[in-house]
Chain A
Amino acid sequence: MPVREENATKVWQRRTPRGRLALWAGWALALAVLVACARQISEGTLWVFVADAHRQAADLLARMVPPDPGYMGVLWRPLWDTVNIATLGTLLAVAAAVPLAFLAAKNTTPHPAVRQTALLMIVSSRSINTLIWAILFVILFGPGVVAGIAAITLRSIGFIAKLLYEAVEEIAVDPVEAIRATGGSPGQVLTYGIFPQVFPSFVGVSVFRWDINIRESTIVGLVGAGGIGLQLDASVNALRWSQVSTILVIVFLMVVFSEWISARVRKAVL
């Protein structure tokens, strides 16, 4: 124990000698891992470019400022597409995630096997980033908004379903039992006993995800899946940096706006 006798006085130390040893070993190991990581990355890096970075950055900045307001006219349509990708994608995801969440929640699933399947679907959807889904759907459906929507949907299903099934598992059981005790059918138990309880988290999660999806839908265009990312990709490849900064300003405004909306809606339903 940390307190021991030494020359008839009590000495307090935070850790036992063995504990200290283990702690040091742990730190040494962690440090070794980090050094190994750093060397690994340094091997894959051309340091001449990195050394040159400040000049590149200054150059980039000079070309980006001021933004090109004339370019705005071209951006309305991609902007509309971007919002649609996020919104339609979220709607479809919600439609799919709600039943999935009830199948995955311990207290509403019809069978443990069904639950495991639903959980697997949720994990797969969540582990794969929107951009990867987008690459996939561009290959399958061809470039365009539809691939973007599909990508957003597939990624969001897992996200929404996970948060929702956790909310379902946390509901109070007494009201649910009370509805069962009136002789309500399973559907009525769901709509009267469970829905009202998870409704705030349902709206909160959906709007939160929509907010994230606005952000995500600005990049799916980088791989051809529609929206303002297409324009960004084209401008970057053509080295038209003043157009790039215009797009960045637009994206910034859009994200700030969507965050504001989502915060307001979430406040309203609670």
Chain B
Amino acid sequence: MSPPDAASVSATGLSGEAAARTWQRPRLIANAWIRRAAWGGGALYLIVAVATLGVDFERMAAGVPRAAEFVSGFFWPDFTTRGGDIIEGFIESVTMTLLSTVIGVALSIPLAIGAARNFASGPVYLVCRSIIAVSRTFPEVMIAIFFVVMFGFGPFAGLITLIVGTVGFLGKLLAEEIEGCSTEQIEAIRATGASLPKILVFGLFPQVFPRLVGLGLYRLDINFRESAIIGVVGAGGIGATLSTTLNRYEFSSAAAVLVLIIVIVLLTENVSGFIRQRLI
């Protein structure tokens, strides 16, 4: 059965004056030359980028049996051989995570108020925004390097690193939240003659509280994940254990650590998701 021709049906009330017009989808870049240049530029970049990768095929081939070993290690994770190190690393990670989140949240509240356009202005605003910008720009691990130099190896440097990360993260998002707050509610409290702290507690806090808890819980997840890597540069936590086991090719023990990380991340994610749902 041949498909009925769309042109022959419908619209019978018309004369056949609609000649065969063609149609093309409108392009994102209307100018054909600019469009071609964009495609060409993209292709050229890809070619050059791939060409300058410097792939060492021999070395990669040598990695294949090791990869097999790792994968098999992953199926038989070994929790016992390095059991002591693993437990110690995890306790360190968890304590760093909890403490840094609590301290970070506490510090980020005044910072966020100072970085919100509707509460602060002038130098206070600028200083708060700069603190946020700097602590957000550099990756945690890079910040950790400096704190390790300053405070020595160990979880304290890690703790400070995570606090800085938390403050930058929460400071920015909370400031945005505060800026989006209903001004009427704040005005209403201000109209009762309340002082600034009272305005904050009765006018602002109820509005941002659910979001603050949500973000804090979200940051708890992130801090745990981060705590698993800053150990690589000597800032304590499970990351130190992990990089040691990996560097010694103890894949079964490394797999054990990774499995535990995944399980804990899953757990915290579900728990924090549950709490956030209950709250909002």
Measuring CB to CB, which residues of chain A are less than 8 angstroms from any residue of chain B? Answer: 33-34, 36-38, 40-42, 44-46, 49-50, 53, 56-57, 60, 80-81, 84, 87-88, 123-124, 126-129, 131-132, 135-136, 139-142, 144-146, 149, 215-216, 218-219, 222-223, 232, 236, 248, 251-252, 255-256
**Which residue of B is nearest A87, CB measured?**
B49
Known pairs A142-B63, A216-B139; A123 contacts B258 (CB<8 A):
no
Query: Across the interface, do B66 and A251 meet the contact criterion of CB distance under 8 Å?
Result: no
Query: Across the interface, do B155 and A44 meet the contact criterion of CB distance under 8 Å?
Result: yes
Hey, which chain A residues are within 8 Å of B138, CB to CB? Answer: 215, 248, 251-252, 255
Query: Across the interface, do A140 and B142 meet the contact criterion of CB distance under 8 Å?
Result: no
Query: Across the interface, do B262 and A34 meet the contact criterion of CB distance under 8 Å?
Result: no
Interface of A is mostly: helix
Known pairs A33-B98, A128-B262; A56 contacts B150 (CB<8 A):
yes
**Which residue of A is nearest B142, CB measured?**
A219
Hey, which chain B residues are within 8 Å of A256, CB to CB? Answer: 137
Closest 8 CB pairs of A and B: A49-B152, A142-B59, A37-B95, A140-B63, A127-B265, A45-B156, A127-B262, A131-B229
In the bound complex, CA of A88 to CA of B50 (Å):
8
Interface of B is mostly: helix
**How many interface contacts (CB-CB < 8 Å) are there between A and B?**
150
Hey, which chain B residues are within 8 Å of A131, CB to CB? Answer: 141, 229, 232, 239
B68 to chain A, nearest CB (A): 10
In the bound complex, CA of A34 to CA of B155 (Å):
15
Query: Across the interface, do A142 and B60 meet the contact criterion of CB distance under 8 Å?
Result: yes
Query: Across the interface, do B142 and A232 meet the contact criterion of CB distance under 8 Å?
Result: yes
Known pairs A41-B96, A131-B229; A139 contacts B151 (CB<8 A):
no
The yes or no answer to B149 lying at the interface (CB within 8 A) is: yes
What 0/1 pattern do residues 259 to 274 of B give for CB contact below 8 A with A?
A: 0011001100000000
What 0/1 pattern do residues 222 to 248 of B give for CB contact below 8 A with A?
A: 000110110011001001001100110
Query: Across the interface, do A140 and B137 meet the contact criterion of CB distance under 8 Å?
Result: no
How many residues in B have their beta carbons less than 8 Å from beta carbons of A? 56
Hey, which chain B residues are within 8 Å of A223, CB to CB? Answer: 232, 243
In the bound complex, CA of A36 to CA of B60 (Å):
46
Known pairs A127-B262, A132-B229, A140-B63; A41 contacts B99 (CB<8 A):
yes
In the bound complex, CA of A36 to CA of B229 (Å):
23
Hey, which chain B residues are within 8 Å of A80, CB to CB? Answer: 52
Complex partner residue of A139 from B66, B154, B229, CB under 8 angstroms: B66
Query: Across the interface, do B258 and A128 meet the contact criterion of CB distance under 8 Å?
Result: yes
Hey, which chain B residues are within 8 Å of A255, CB to CB? Answer: 137-138
12 additional contacts (CB under 8 A) given A40-B95, A129-B226, A129-B229? A36-B95, A40-B155, A49-B151, A57-B150, A128-B262, A135-B243, A135-B246, A140-B67, A144-B55, A215-B139, A232-B142, A252-B137
Hey, which chain B residues are within 8 Å of A40, CB to CB? Answer: 91-92, 95, 155
B138 to chain A, nearest CB (A): 7
Known pairs A40-B92, A136-B246, A142-B62; A219 contacts B139 (CB<8 A):
yes
**Which residue of A is nearest B251, CB measured?**
A139
B58 to chain A, nearest CB (A): 9
Query: Across the interface, do A251 and B142 meet the contact criterion of CB distance under 8 Å?
Result: yes
**Which residue of B is nearest A223, CB measured?**
B232
In the bound complex, CA of A136 to CA of B236 (Å):
19
In the bound complex, CA of A135 to CA of B249 (Å):
11
Query: Across the interface, do B52 and A140 meet the contact criterion of CB distance under 8 Å?
Result: no
B209 to chain A, nearest CB (A): 15
Hey, which chain B residues are within 8 Å of A56, CB to CB? Answer: 149-151
The interface centre, meaning the residue of B60, B137, B236 with most chain A CB atoms within 10 A of its CB, is B137
Complex partner residue of A44 from B145, B236, B243, CB under 8 angstroms: B236
Complex partner residue of B152 from A50, A135, A219, CB under 8 angstroms: A50
B248 to chain A, nearest CB (A): 10
